[in-house]
Amino acid sequence: MCHPDHGHVIPTLAVVAELTRRGGRVTYLTAESTAALVREAGAAAVTYDSPYARIGSREREDDPLRLLSLLLEESEAMLGALDRLPERPDVIAYDISVLHAGRILARRERIPAAQLIPIFASNAHYSVLTSMYEGEDGGRSGREPPGWVDGMLDRIGALARRYGVRDDPAELWWEVQDCNVVTLPRSFQFAGETFDDRFAFVGPCLGERRFLAEWEPPGDGLPVALLSFGSVATTRPELLRACAQGLAELPWRTVVTLADGLDPADLGPLPPTVEPRRRVSHLSVLRHASVAVTHGGMGTSMEALSQGCPLVVVPTTAMDGPPARRIGELGLGVALDPARLTPALVAEQVLAVAGDPAVRRAADAMRAGIRASGGASRAADVLERLLERKPV
């Protein structure tokens, strides 16, 4: 179960492929816009009318609290499509963004469930919401929750009761689940040592992505950079343009991945060493890259680190702040202030990161940690073990 956000759906595709390779049947509840991706991975797609897909990316990014409310609407829409499932599942795997749908379904049907977490996980010692929305280190402060929480709890309770679930809405929202699959290595997680065995830090789940084009360097020997801001670039094109122009000043080859709705002309005049591309495999570029320049999305950051590629991060939304801070803390690259961004600064920091032996050592160590985390195979193992808890 996952809403139609590529940053959340794509990390699940290799897990779907692994489960089906092992002989499992996977039904994937998502919107029509991502249905083709999950079908190609081997799942049967069941679609619903997605509120998330109907809202523009600027509205989702500009108001973090609106995003939380929108994702509760998304859970409601998902639950409304349950009568179209071809069979009763033995195990549920739900993305954390639609946790209300996953937890309500699991309780109503008494089905074992796993929560899929493609961002930082939360526990009693670290809160990703605090880290995102208050700009702090994510430590639990003991303060009273803000006033908007009460309204959310009322809505969660009403939705749960509609499906015969009368659990405390606060538990439905905040209770630590028995099974959590986190697509980060433990070493990247804030307060990673405080998470118990309910959390499997499997690292990024990277598999074949035939829906993306491969890329090979032209053989000119230039250092390679990946520049990707995902869908954020459609709302902040000036940041992507500043980065592209900064990289154009260097004797490097840069591949710029463009989201739908962004015209290459938005980047301004660029030399032939800067290549705007749509639907190109990040991994095929990162195998050759010395630096990745990104807004700090977890998917691209994990892809880069899986190849030992350090990062220059320009965080542009609330969700980008925690990854940017963690990358800086661990010496895996640098974070730049978007309000002070200039092409000259981008060029300077790309050269600094690429030339820093300490950054390279940290990135190499993270790559080794990612490989040891298990990826899609370990995630599939975790989900298959839940079958042993299936009610008779």
Q: Do both 181 and 252 map to the same domain?
A: no
260 and 378, same structural domain?
no
Domain count, the chain: 2
Examine the domain organization and report whether 87 and 130 are in the same domain: yes
For residues 145 and 130, is the Cβ–Cβ distance under 8 A?
Answer: no
Rounded Cα gap, residues 32 and 216, in angstroms: 32
Same structural domain for residues 15 and 147? yes
Cα angle value 156/181/95 (rounded, 5°): 35
Based on the domain organization, do 140 and 263 belong to the same domain?
A: no
Q: What is the model's pLDDT at position 133? A: 65
The two tokens of residue 251 are: 């004797």
Q: Has residue 164 been placed in a domain?
A: yes
pTM, whole model, 2 decimals?
0.93
- Residue with tokens 């710029």, as numbered in its chain: 256
Residue type, 67: L
Indicate whether 272 and 316 sit together in one domain. Answer: yes
> Does residue 84 sit in the same domain as residue 188?
yes
Q: Tell me if 86 is assigned to some domain.
A: yes
Q: What is the pLDDT at residue 139?
A: 60
- The CATH number given to whatever domain includes residue 161 is 3.40.50.2000
Mark whether 232 and 360 lie in a shared domain.
Answer: yes
pLDDT score of 290: 98
Q: Torsions phi, psi of 302, nearest 5?
A: -70, -40
Give the type of residue at 38.
V
The DSSP letter of residue 98 is G
Q: pLDDT tens across 40-78, in order?
A: 999 999 999 999 998 865 555 556 678 889 999 999 999
**Within-domain flag for 294:** yes
Q: Which domain holds residue 144?
A: 6-203+374-389
Could you say which residues of the chain have pLDDT below 50?
141-142, 144, 392
Looking at the domain assignment, is residue 210 inside a domain? no
80 within a domain of the structure (yes/no):
yes
Q: Flag whether 1 is in a domain.
A: no
On whether both 176 and 234 belong to a single domain, the answer is no
Give the chain's length: 392
Asked whether residue 367 falls in the same domain as residue 378, the answer is: no
Answer yes or no: is 217 within a domain. no
Residues 229 and 136 in one domain: no
Domain match, 361 and 382 both: no
- Let me know if residue 21 belongs to a domain: yes
For the beta carbon of residue 274, count every other beta carbon within 10 angstroms.
21
